[in-house]
Structure 1
Amino acid sequence: MSRASVLVVDDDADFRSLVRGELVDAGYDVTLAAGAEEGLQKLAGENVDVLLLDLVMPGKSGCELLREARQMGVQSETVVVTAYPESDMAGQCLEAGAFELLEKPFSSRLLLSTVAHAVERSRLLRTATLYDASRAVFASQDPGAIPQVIVETAASALRADQASLMVPEGPHHLVVAYSKGFPESARGSYVVRIGEGIAGRVAEEGKPVLIVGPASEDPRFRGVRAHGRVHSSIVYPLLAGTRLVGVLNMSRVHEHTPFRPADLELASVFASQALLALENVSLVRKAVHNERLAFAGRLAAELTHEVANPAAFVISNLEFLLEELRPASGPGAAERLAAARDALEGARRIARVVGDMRGALRGEEKELSTCDLNDAVRFALRMSALQVSNAEITTSLGDGVQVRGDEARLGQVFLNLLVNAGQALAGRPDARVRVTTERSGDEVRVMIADNGPGIAPADQRRIFDAFFTTKRGESGSGLGLAISREIVSQHGGELTVESEVGKGSRFIVKLPAAG
């Protein structure tokens, strides 16, 4: 536990020196002030556990100092030293919130005992405040609101002007789950790479930090740019063993009193409760998720059985129709032939998806081959033509975009993304979709962008979760993006999103290039 701190305010230099010696020998950090004005200046710049002040001083009295300190938000327990404990002024100090009156002259033993009790009360009250905040977190009935409750109660309990909770997004990044008090430029889909920035470094090292003054002046964080002027910060990693669950950030901007080591200890109390709350939410979601996946697995097994035979009949009949249509001529013959080819290709892909699903259920692994992503994109554009018919489609398909993979499954990814774009653009008169493929070094990228309504920051970190959907009614199962990300991941790649509300979204598929 950190050393307790005491501010001694008295106009008698000999008395200040005597009291300081006793308290320092007892292990306290002691600051001195020769009068009320100097004492108020000290309190404006630092937080102390106990305020030990003389009742009668030149200028402002100890009682006036106490009232002004309370108006400043100072919560320190106050011990008033006086030779006249029965006076009206002494009584006024008690009414203003003084913890104890200490009558002069007093023994060293009485001084140390009184200060020790004041420190104990100060820390117990602050700890009780944090436990009350913890109860508020656990009282929340909405698992989705837990990040907001954690941030708002942490900011209130620790008197922080700014607070945020960041959670892992994949193995390498942190995203903001909820924030309070930050400037507009720092809100939204703020992403930090683990190991970079203040929160990223704390997440990597797994140790809480207390920063007093600008972070750029702290040797541990040189070169790090902070948002706005921050006087002090506490950054606390939430760890379940060695597994990172989140990072809690608290900063004081408007309040000049910086955080102290005692605040870091109190933050640890709240952080432990926040961790439990987040883990409870995670367990509930996992239980629901696993139950849904189990049901989906049973349903998939039935579907593969029920769809396989009809798909084979459809393919056989389409192959027959295609052969019959080849020699045909006249108006519309070419269009009918093209429609039959597309239908046959779609049916064959259905059969391949069913076969892949059956293989996955049996634990089989499919052998990958070199394929051109442009072919998979063109297929997806043809298959989604109806869903994006109201949008202006532009494409920029680059060269050298071959990858090692399953063209049919990658085509499914692009089809999902295009269908989602079409649904997001429904009813928009100026709807636009742009599809781009390109190679950059050893990486191939496919980007599908739209000018739709965009995705809310709170939803961006969840849209790849199975069964999560922002679509109303029966238009979304919440599986398309989850399956797409899994397919991309199985190919050694990454599926990410960039989105801004009111401006649109861009989904980016990154895959290792073949050769």
Structure 2
Amino acid sequence: MSYNSAQQTPNASAFAPSEFQAEGDKHILVVDDEDGVRNLFASFLSESFDCTTAASAEEALLLLAARPYALVISDVMMPGRNGIELLREVVARYPDTVVVMCSGIDRTQRVLDAVRLGAYDYLVKPCDLDVLAMTVERALERRSLLRAARQYKLDIERSNDELRRSKAELERLQTQIIQSEKMASLGQLAAGVAHELNNPAGFIYGNMEILDECTRGLACLLAFYEAVPLAPDLAARARRIEEEVDYGHALSDLRSIIADCREGAERIRDVVQNLRTFSRLDEAEFKKVDIHEGLESTLRLLARYYSADGVRLSRDYAELPPVDCFAGQLNQVWLNLLVNAAQAARAGGEVRITTRRDGQMAVVRVSDDGQGIAPEDLKRIFDPFFTTKPVGEGTGLGLSVTYSIVERHRGTISVESTPGHGATFTVSIPIDAPRDAEGAEGQTHQR
């Protein structure tokens, strides 16, 4: 059906662009096989829009592929591919483009089909140009509102993601604070225990020295008495006392007891020294520290833990310069990694410690020959409360705290594992701390 141009005179004042229209809403494509309809619509719409025309669905698809259009106004009945097929293509390929269908045949079912397939509206030709203007306005307004709604949804999803990340970070910080308080309490307890043990151990050790001297003096005195001749009655009495006391064996036992007590006191002193070295409460400042000394003091604390399960330990230490760090915190890293490695290695397994220098970084690797870590667990291994141990055997905080300590030192920690072939944790710490690292205690950084 064709238009009578005398009956349909373009009236530019009938069209008033909506306040919702943006710069991207200026491009409209008119698709109709009738020249009169295309020219009339294009002439009317060109007053306010960048209007392009196409005589077929195939031509329209080529134009749509070349540039985006805000609105497509298409006839239904056209040679070749009809308007309904074009509608399907536009809806599938160009979700930001609104489609208005036109037809000279007013059929309710066709209107419903077009709307069901995604058309915004359906115009019956010939249509009043004021109706066309109103339809275009509303179609573009709907497009703008839909795009704004999609953007708003994306913004909400992005905000929700940020809130989830912030919540997770707050939980991690809270966990770290709790764990730090626990470690501080443990350090204070260790210092108190060390102090309480150190003084009695010193008394015992000092008294053993005096007792040893007295024992040697008594032995000399007894030897002297044995060499001096006694009157028969005194000699008989001395023999009876000697038989009752058996002072020869008593003297030997006394020497052995003194040696055992001295060894025990020395072991107490070693434990105290290891506690002090490990906690480093007397060295809380940021300073140069020998990493190997920290590793060895931690291993001494774990010596019985390793030997009880028959876990073998191998070391491969390279020459390393002193490293800037908080020694007590770094020792906590070694403790967590070495305990986990021993548990993973199981009875008769092996734990390997290697150190090396990589540029300006000191690198420590702790490896075990256990069952390894499942690939799905590797991504979460440093998350708070995540643990692969049975219920009741782990809090899931050790590696999270380890991660935070290494991060606080401006270092890195990573893990490599193949199921069935053990795991290796690699810690890299700057040898010379960055200028701001000393003030980083208590601060945290996002992963």
2:360 match: 442
- Show the 5 A alignment for 1:35-434: 35-40=56-61, 48-67=69-88, 76-86=97-107, 89=110, 92-125=113-146, 130=150, 266=151, 269-282=152-165, 284-285=167-168, 307-316=190-199, 344-351=269-276, 356=281, 366-385=284-303, 389=309, 393-426=313-346, 433-434=351-352
Q: Is the 8 A contact 1:455 1:499 kept in 2?
A: no
| 1:351–1:385 CA distance, 2 compared to 1 (3 A) | closer
In structure 1, how many angstroms separate the alpha carbons of the residues matched to 2:42 and 2:314? Answer: 77
- In structure 1, the partner of 2:224 is none
For the pair 1:454 / 2:373, whether they are aligned, the reply is yes
1: CA distance, partners of 2:296 / 2:391: 30
Structure 2 unmatched ranges of 5 or more: 1-21, 213-251, 253-258, 434-447
1:53 Cα deviation from its structure 2 partner = 0.9
Distance in 1, Cα, partners of 2:387 & 2:110: 65
Moved more, 101-110 or 280-289: 280-289
- The 3-state SS of whatever aligns with 2:353 is strand
Contact 1:464 1:485 in 2 (8 A): no
Query: Which residue of the partner structure matches residue 395 of structure 2?
Result: 477
Call closer, same or farther: CA 1:308–1:415 in 2, change over 3 Å: closer
What code does the residue aligned with 1:313 have? E
Closer/same/farther in 2, CA of residues 286 and 493 from structure 1, 3 Å limit: closer
Secondary structure of the 2:73 match is strand
Measured at CA, do residues 462 and 277 of structure 1 come closer, stay the same or move farther in structure 2, by a change above 3 Å? farther
In structure 2, the residue matched to 1:497 is 414
The answer (yes or no) to whether the contact 1:463–1:469 under 8 Å persists in 2 is no
Cα distance per residue 1:303-339 (max 9 Å; x no partner): 56655443333345666788979x99xxxxx9x9999
Separation in structure 1 between the aligned mates of residue 268 and residue 381 of structure 2, nearest angstrom: 34
Structure 1 residues 478 and 21: alpha-carbon distance in aligned structure 2, compared to 1, 3 A threshold: farther
Structure 2 equivalent of residue 158 of structure 1: none
Per-residue CA deviations over 1:447-479 (Å, capped at 9, x if unaligned) read: 2234543365676467165x5545442333344
Larger Rg: 2
Task: Give 2:4's aligned residue.
Answer: none
Verify: 1:26 aligned to 2:51, yes or no: no
CA positional deviation for 1:118: 1.7
CA change 1:486–1:352 in 2 (3 A) is farther
Q: CA 1:47 to 1:318, structure 2 compared with 1: closer, same or farther past 3 Å? A: farther
Structure 1 residues 284 and 308, CA, compared in 2 at 3 Å: closer, same or farther? same
Task: Return the letter of the residue paired with 2:332.
Answer: Q
Structure 2 match to 1:215: none
Note if 1:463 corresponds to 2:352. Answer: no
- Mapped to 1, the partners of 2:374 and 2:301 lie a distance apart of 25
Rounded Cα–Cα distance in structure 2 between residues aligned with 1:43 and 1:284: 45
Cα distance between partner residues in 1 of 2:102 and 2:111? 9
Q: TM-score, normalised by structure 2?
A: 0.62
Change (3 A) 1:457 1:436: same
1:3 aligned counterpart, secondary structure: helix
CA contact (8 A) 1:497 1:505 kept: no
Distance in 1 (CA, whole Å) between partners of 2:191 and 2:267 is 19
How many Å separate the matches in 2 of 1:20 and 1:498?
A: 65
Is 1:401–1:438's contact at 8 Å kept on the other side of the alignment?
A: no
SS at match of 1:449: strand
Change (3 A) 1:392 1:58: farther
Distance of 1:71 and 1:42 partners within structure 2: 16
More strand by percentage: 1
Offset at residue 102 of structure 1 (A): 2.1
Equivalents in 2 of 1:305, 1:62: separation in Å?
81
Distance change in 2, residues 1:339/1:385 (3 Å): farther
How far off its partner does 1:497 sit?
A: 1.4
Q: Which runs of 5+ in 1 are unaligned?
A: 131-265, 329-333, 360-364
The corresponding residue for 1:9 is 31
Q: How many aligned residue pairs are there?
A: 363
Corresponding residue number in structure 2 for 1:195: none
CA 1:373/1:281 → structure 2, altered by over 3 Å: closer, same or farther? same
Distance 1:354 1:454 in 2: 30
CA positional deviation for 1:446:
1.5
After superposition, the CA RMSD in angstroms is 4.8
User: Per-residue CA shift, 1:178-202, capped at 9, x if unaligned?
Assistant: xxxxxxxxxxxxxxxxxxxxxxxxx
Asked whether the equivalents of residues 437 and 447 of structure 1 are also in contact (C-alpha less than 8 Å), the reply is: yes
> 1:51 Cα deviation (Å)?
2.9
Cα distance in 1 for partners of 2:414, 2:104 equals 70
Are the equivalent residues in 2 in contact too, given 1:488–1:495 (CA < 8 A)? yes
Q: Structure 1's 96 and 319: CA in aligned 2 closer, same or farther, altered over 3 A?
A: same
Distance in 1 (CA, whole Å) between partners of 2:143 and 2:62 is 21
| Structure that is richer in helix per residue | 2
Q: Give the fraction of aligned pairs with identical amino acids, expressed as a percent.
A: 27
Inter-partner Cα distance in structure 2 for 1:390 and 1:49? 74
- DSSP 3-state at the match of 1:399: coil
Q: CA deviation at 1:11?
A: 2.6
TM-score by length of 1: 0.55
- Alignment CA distance shift 1:127-1:433 (3 Å): farther
Are the equivalent residues in 2 in contact too, given 1:446–1:509 (CA < 8 A)?
yes
1:499/1:286 CA distance change after superposition, 3 Å: same
Distance 1:355 1:13, change over 3 A: same
Supply the AA of the counterpart residue of 1:101. Answer: Y
Deviations 1:332-363 (A, max 9, x none): xx9x999987764443343456673xx8xxxx
